[in-house]
A and B are shown apart, each in its own frame.
Chain A
């Protein structure tokens, strides 16, 4: 099992603030996906990053894949209550087995 540690585990911020969530591992991944999960639902894909150093933007969300493809970050600008949820990173192992190893998750609460 390839372990993905996310930090912080819990985050509660005021609407309008910025935040960054980290996803770290000692393993190299061929790609990394970020999902958001809302209560009572399954995770939903936000983005996939593939190339070391890659940066992708999705409106107020910015995703970065580390140069060594062992870590990733998610930065949210001007957080909104609708951003509340559980953020999960998931790494694809280099064996190409088509299975994903999910991180421990960051539970974000944005207070209006």
Chain B
């Protein structure tokens, strides 16, 4: 089975440009998460979806960030306009919640490394 697939793996852009990161979760998983990782702040949850519906976007830094999940097999994270402080590795992860209600294992993609000059 294919794991979580993210694209692009690397993106270098200039300040002010729009950036779109893409994610294909594992088939059958009902939760999708977007995380951002930096040396200073570690792994931060930005937003997560359940059955394609955004549940908690309180981690989204500001209005420049937006995320969508139009169907169960695709999600995007968009930054417009981008700024140098957005430079980080962005991870997408998916999971299947246990019937007991407990959080299942998160399966992470390989990440998208974003550099904003």
A: residues with CB less than 8 A from B are: 30-31, 33, 35, 40-45, 48, 50, 88, 90, 92, 96-105
A105-B43 contact given A42-B91, A50-B102, A97-B56, CB 8 Å threshold: yes
| Residues in B lying within 8 Å of A, measured CB to CB | 4, 31, 33, 35, 42-45, 48, 50, 55-56, 91, 93, 95, 97, 101-103, 105-106, 108-111
B97 nearest CB neighbor, chain A only: A98
Question: How far apart are A98's CB and chain B's nearest CB, in angstroms?
Answer: 5
- The reply to whether A43 and B43 contact each other, CB–CB distance below 8 Å, is yes
Residues of B within 8 A of A31 (CB): 102-103
Complex CA gap A42/B110 in Å reads: 5
Q: What secondary structure prevails in chain B residues at the interface with A? A: strand
Cα–Cα, bound, A10→B33 (Å): 27
Q: Which residues of A contact B4 (CB under 8 A)?
A: 42
The one of B31, B50, B95, B110 in contact with A41, judged by C-beta atoms closer than 8 angstroms, is B110
Q: Within 8 Å CB of B35, what residues of A?
A: 102
30 A–B pairs (Cβ distance < 8 Å), ordered by A? A31-B102, A33-B103, A40-B110, A40-B111, A42-B4, A42-B91, A42-B93, A42-B108, A42-B109, A42-B111, A43-B91, A43-B108, A45-B106, A48-B105, A88-B42, A90-B106, A96-B101, A97-B56, A98-B31, A98-B48, A98-B97, A98-B103, A99-B48, A99-B55, A100-B45, A102-B42, A102-B45, A103-B42, A104-B42, A105-B43
